[in-house]
Structure 1
């Protein structure tokens, strides 16, 4: 059995200014704070002699690989993303970075913000613009109805409010 994993499909390149700040802070934290600490730990562990049985050395090197991998990803991603900080002229239509309030068939309301794939957090009400629900909302207007196919069947929602 091979270890090959096909590359995951690229997400959209759009991000909010808040999302970009989070990615830049993570990159700075990893590169300026965490990596020097782990490097110092590995250096001290290497002085102790036998590295094959030295837990600090083994796990420190593993953590360095994880940090370097994440730093490479963040650096490349920050180069290719587009920060969307302008609000659209037509505020009655759903675009990227909109807060949308939906009402389902049972009358229950839920509020979501459409964000980029690097910053989505469903528990905080942030949907990736690549998700089926966000795709159904994009381009719709106030009081429009949308349909989303779910594993439990088709769900219908009405757009109750749009905020930017």
Structure 2
């Protein structure tokens, strides 16, 4: 069975690598120390500090595993290999719906998505509609909230 691939920018991959390093070298040892101290408090069945530390350990270990998988199957996108006017993962696209203000988003892999920072996932309805399109194209975008047509104004690396 083919493994899932994780498209991402070089910056997104670097951010994941830094998070992984932080989790392994800082968070994990801190939690291990908290567990060791909590064990000294006695009966583990009624020890909330121990339970809390074990829960946090589980969350951190899950995140470490998730990041390692994403990095192992990362597809780092090289935007220089794509036509400069074509929308692709890693590029920033500006589009406008008729009569509305222009909107600008960087299309990134799902692991990097942060709409508050203007980064949308390549799996989002908007990005899926825009991928492969070029400047001046009219694009029909279907979202759960309805459909609308936009014009691509600009694409930047």
TM-score, normalisation: structure 1: 0.88
Alpha-carbon distance in 2 for matches of 1:152, 1:68: 37
How many residue pairs align between the two structures? 155
- Which 4+ runs in 1 deviate beyond 4 A? none
**Structure 2: 5+ residue stretches without partners:** none
1:119 equivalent to 2:112? Answer yes
Relative distance call for 1:56 and 1:130 in structure 2 (3 A) is: same
Q: Deviations over 1:96-137 (max 9, x none)?
A: 211110111223100011110110111111111111111111
Alpha-carbon distance in 2 for matches of 1:14, 1:71: 18
Alpha-carbon distance in 2 for matches of 1:89, 1:71: 32
Relative distance call for 1:154 and 1:141 in structure 2 (3 A) is: same
Report deviation, 1:26: 1.0
Relative distance call for 1:136 and 1:72 in structure 2 (3 A) is: same
The residue number in structure 2 matching 1:31 is 24
Report deviation, 1:85: 3.3
CA RMSD of aligned residues (A): 1.6
Task: Specify which structure has the higher proportion of helix.
Answer: 2
TM-score, normalisation: structure 2: 0.91
Relative distance call for 1:30 and 1:111 in structure 2 (3 A) is: same
